[in-house]
Structure 1
Amino acid sequence: MLKTNEDALTETQLETEQVFDGVLLNVHRDKVRLPDGKTGIREYITHPGAVAIIAILPDGRLIFERQYRYPLHRAFLEIPAGKIDAGEAIEACARRELREETGYEAASWEHVGVMHPCIGYSNERIEVFIARDLTHVGHAWDEGEFLELLSLSLDEVRAAVSAGEITDGKTMTALFMALDRLV
C-alpha cells in the first residue's frame, strides 16, 4: 500500500463562511493555512453522502436506470443510487433507494466499500453495495422522479462502457470495485 506522510500535507482551517445554502448542496469558502505556512482559499461543496447499488437479477443481469441529468442536459445509464437522509444508516438507505427506484427488494446485501467522486471540490462519499436475491414488489418513485429501467449482462455493461454509452463515474467506479464479485 502507498504510504504518505499526511501531517506534512495538512491544510488547517483558519476561517470559514457558507456562501450558498441549497436543498442538496452547500458551498463553503475557507481560508486555510497551507503546509508551507502561507494562506490560501478553498471553496468546496458539502453533500450528505449517497449510496450506489449493483443489483443482480437471478439470471445474472444487472439493473440499470436511464435517467435525465439536468446539468449535462441528457439521459445517462447508471446503477440505482440516492442520497443518504440525515441519521439514516447506509444499508437502510441502499434498501430504500433500491425499492423506490427499481421496485426490487433484496434478501442479500454486501457492502463493497466507499468512493469519493469529487475530492477536489466536495466531501461527498458514495457507499457501494451489491444486492442479490431480488424480489420485485413495485417501485415507489419520488415526486418528480422519472426514469426507465433496463437490465444488462456483464458483457453488455463492458461493451457499453467501452463504447462510451456508460460514462457515469459512480457507476463505472462501483463496477470496478465489485468486479471480482460479479464474475
Structure 2
Amino acid sequence: MSDEHLIEHRIDRQELLRGHFLHAFRDTVRLPDQKTATREYVVHPGAVMIIPLLQEPDGLKLVLERQYRYPVGQVMIEFPAGKLDPGEDRWGCAQRELLEETGYTARQWARAGVLHPVIAYSTEVIEIWFARDLHLGNRQLDDGEFLDVFTATPTELMAWCREGQVTDAKTLTGALWLQNMLSGDWPLTWQSVA
C-alpha cells in the first residue's frame, strides 16, 4: 500500500534559528491535494535514554534522576539521557551519558527501540537502551549541569507515572518498555561490553 496520498513535499525552506544545538526552520510544503501550507520545526541531533537496572539485595531498583528543566519550570523525574555528539555512535553515547550523569558503568546492554518525543515540531529521535550489571564510579557532569541521582523500584516508578509525578515523555515510554520487559512480553537481546 502506498502512502503517497499522505505525503507532503517541501517546495521552500527558511531558516529561523541556528542555536547551539537546535536548528529551526519554516518550510513551505505542497499538500497531497496540491494546496500549500507551512511547517515550522526544530532539527535535533538525536539522543539516547538509558534504563539502568540495579540489582540490590532487596530486589531490582532503577537508577533515576531529578533535574530542573527550564522550559517547563520544574524539577522532573527522568531516566538518564543525553544528546548525541556529532558523529557519535548511539551505544557509545548511552555508555558516556550513563557514566557522566550517574557515575555508573554497565557490563551488559540491550537496545530496546526508538521514540519520537515531539513529532509535530521536531526531528528528535531518542534511542532507548537498557543497562544492567552496574558498577558505581564518579560522575562527570557537564559544566552547568545539576541533577540528583536516586534509585526507586519499578513499582514506585509506575505509581509516579500513574499519579502524574512523572510526565516526561521519554521516561513514560521507558516505563512502558520496562513494564513489558519485566513481564516477558518484550524480550531483549543483551550484549556485553568488551
Query: Same fold per TM (> 0.5)?
Result: yes
Unaligned regions of 5+ residues in structure 1, if any?
Answer: none
Corresponding position of 1:127: 127
User: Aligned with 1:132: secondary structure?
Assistant: strand
User: Please, which of 45, 65, 70 is the counterpart of residue 48 of structure 1?
Assistant: 45
Deviations 1:7-63 (A, max 9, x none): 111101101111100112111011111000111111110000100000001221001
Identity across the alignment (%): 44
TM-score by length of 2: 0.90
Corresponding position of 2:8: 11
Which runs of at least 4 in structure 1 moved beyond 2 Å after TM superposition? 177-180
**1:174, 1:156 → 2: CA distance?**
14
Corresponding position of 1:94: 94
Q: CA deviation at 1:179?
A: 2.2
Q: CA deviation at 1:124?
A: 0.4
**1:128, 1:113 → 2: CA distance?**
5
**2:82, 2:119 → 1: CA distance?**
19
Q: CA deviation at 1:73?
A: 1.1
Q: CA deviation at 1:6?
A: 1.7
Deviations 1:157-180 (A, max 9, x none): 111111211111100012212322
Corresponding position of 2:22: 25
User: Please, which of 32, 36, 39 is the counterpart of residue 36 of structure 2?
Assistant: 39
* 1:1-183 aligned within 5 A: 5-59=2-56, 60-183=60-183
Q: Is the 8 A contact 1:48 1:83 kept in 2?
A: yes
Deviations 1:66-110 (A, max 9, x none): 000001111000000000111001000000000000000000000
TM-score by length of 1: 0.95
Q: CA deviation at 1:182?
A: 2.9
**1:165, 1:39 → 2: CA distance?**
41
Letter of the 2:107 partner, please give it. A
**1:182, 1:62 → 2: CA distance?**
12
Letter of the 2:70 partner, please give it. Y
Q: Is the 8 A contact 1:112 1:178 kept in 2?
A: no
Q: Is the 8 A contact 2:24 2:41 kept in 1?
A: yes
**2:89, 2:54 → 1: CA distance?**
24
**1:168, 1:32 → 2: CA distance?**
31
Deviations 1:120-161 (A, max 9, x none): 001100000000000011110000000001101011111111
**2:163, 2:6 → 1: CA distance?**
39
Give the length in aligned residue pairs: 180
Q: Is the 8 A contact 1:76 1:168 kept in 2?
A: yes
Q: CA deviation at 1:5?
A: 3.6
